[in-house]
Structure 1
Amino acid sequence: MRGVVVTGHERAPLEQVDALAKYGVATVHEALGRVGFLGPRLRPVNRGSRIGGTAVTALCWPGDNLMIHVAVEQCGPGDILVVTTTSPSTDGMFGELFATSLQQRGVRGAIIDAGSRDSAELGEMGFPVWSAAISAQGTVKATPGSVNVPIVVGGQLIRPGDVILADDDGVMCVPREDVSRAIDAAQARSDKEEATRQAFRQGELGLDRYGMRATLDRLGVEYITADEYARRTGA
């Protein structure tokens, strides 16, 4: 395997990234038509963080974090490091020392499609990490890979400079050329949800607001009394 390190890639504007990140993963994912979600495997090592940033990607060999060291040099303020492996791995490829170096460079977090470790230390230093596993198993630094090439995580294509959003609900990717549309769509969905929230606070039911009673009728769902249910079932 011949590795490459791509430099000088285009990044989405950080002001747009920050505007989009405030909506959260679930809202943006739904607003864009349920696309971009990297799947339920990636979970926050420590809950409570919501971040957005531009992707720096690293493609590593399983059990080998050499290319993460290479990727750190390519990271800058506003970036999020996204790491995957050439085949599935749960080894602890990322921990507190990497986070210290990235934090010093202004990196906002890391997404590890493999294992991470030093969970307590990551929480104490306030560096957000999402990973597919938590594992004390260490790694070697011996096999070439690539940095800032397109990668696939959870069936989703991630290119360097694309927008990564992450919170307690998971992680998603928004193509850098689609950020403006995503902001508009997320705001529209947020406004709609706020109107629904107010309606629910006033006592309206989802059955009525979403027109689901007609759906129940079409599906043949009946409302019957407890006595009638007892007669039909012998209960």
Structure 2
Amino acid sequence: MYELGVVHRDVTRASRDDVTALAGLGVSTVHEAMGRTGLMRPYIRPVYYGAAFCGTAVTVLLQPGDNWMLHVAVEQLEPGDVLVAACTTECEDGFFGELLATSARAKGSIGLVIDGGCRDVAALEKMDFPVFSRAVNAKGTVKATLGSVNIPIVCANALIRPGDVIVADADGVVVVPAERAAEVAEAGRSRKANEEDKQRRFAAGELGLDMYGMREPLAKAGLRYIGGEQEQDA
């Protein structure tokens, strides 16, 4: 059950050093480094090409067709924060647009994730305010019903708590719990170094079949090659 009608002002954010480290890794690497967890549903997509960010979450619980609490949430933003908004029930109305983006940026926000709609996409792209949303929808909203700010929410099937790290790029959105940020950043750096080594080997012509030792288990599974010089097992 969500807590309604509250704004929590005291938020423990992940450290800036850890956020910076995670920002250099990308969504796919962070997701894998965290044990293949933390991803939002893939219907959350950037509203323009090149949108990306990594920052700490200020969470917003909205009521359907009502963006009142986004205005409340802007006051709680600090530099480097990301607005993360969910709705009490599915709604694709245009909760967010150019004016709110301008206000959020003035407070230091670097982007928005919303399990709902946004609008003014051309203006958002022009001002380079990254938004990841469920839909693009010109339909406006009202300001009449209380939700909450800085409470734990579920956005696109992912649990987000205030201060968690949100990484978003062309591959999607991943959530890193604040208390795991340092651990995941270190695991991500190791994974990235390993991937860079593999990329060099692939570029030199080595096959994944040999790099990953796949030939023997493929043969045991019954794979056979037909044609060529001779019929052979894998």
Q: Equivalent residues in 2 for 1:153-168 (5 A)?
A: 153-168=155-170
**Unpaired runs of at least 5, structure 2:** none
Structure having the larger proportion of residues in helix: 1
What is the SS of the residue equivalent to 1:74?
A: coil
- Determine the structure 2 residue equivalent to 1:130: 132
- Residue identity in the other structure for 1:113: D
- What TM-score do the two structures reach when normalised by structure 2? 0.94
Equivalent residues of 1:79, 1:108 under 8 A apart: yes
Distance 1:117 1:226 in 2: 57
- Determine the structure 1 residue equivalent to 2:203: 201
Aligned residues: 229
What is the SS of the residue equivalent to 1:10?
A: coil
Which residue, 166, 185, 188 being the options, matches 2:187?
A: 185
Residues 82-109 of structure 1: CA distance to partner in whole angstroms, max 9, x if unpaired?
Answer: 0000011111111111100011111010
Per-residue deviation at 1:218?
3.0
Which residue, 39, 63, 81 being the options, matches 1:37?
A: 39
Which residue, 177, 197, 213 being the options, matches 1:175?
A: 177
**Unpaired runs of at least 5, structure 1:** 230-235
- Determine the structure 2 residue equivalent to 1:105: 107
- Determine the structure 2 residue equivalent to 1:20: 22
- Determine the structure 2 residue equivalent to 1:58: 60
Distance 1:60 1:214 in 2: 54
- Determine the structure 2 residue equivalent to 1:233: none
Per-residue deviation at 1:155?
2.2
- Residue identity in the other structure for 2:101: A
Q: Percent identity?
A: 52
- Determine the structure 1 residue equivalent to 2:5: 3
- What TM-score do the two structures reach when normalised by structure 1? 0.93
- Determine the structure 2 residue equivalent to 1:232: none
What is the SS of the residue equivalent to 1:141?
A: coil
- RMSD over aligned Cα, in angstroms? 1.6
Per-residue deviation at 1:15?
2.0
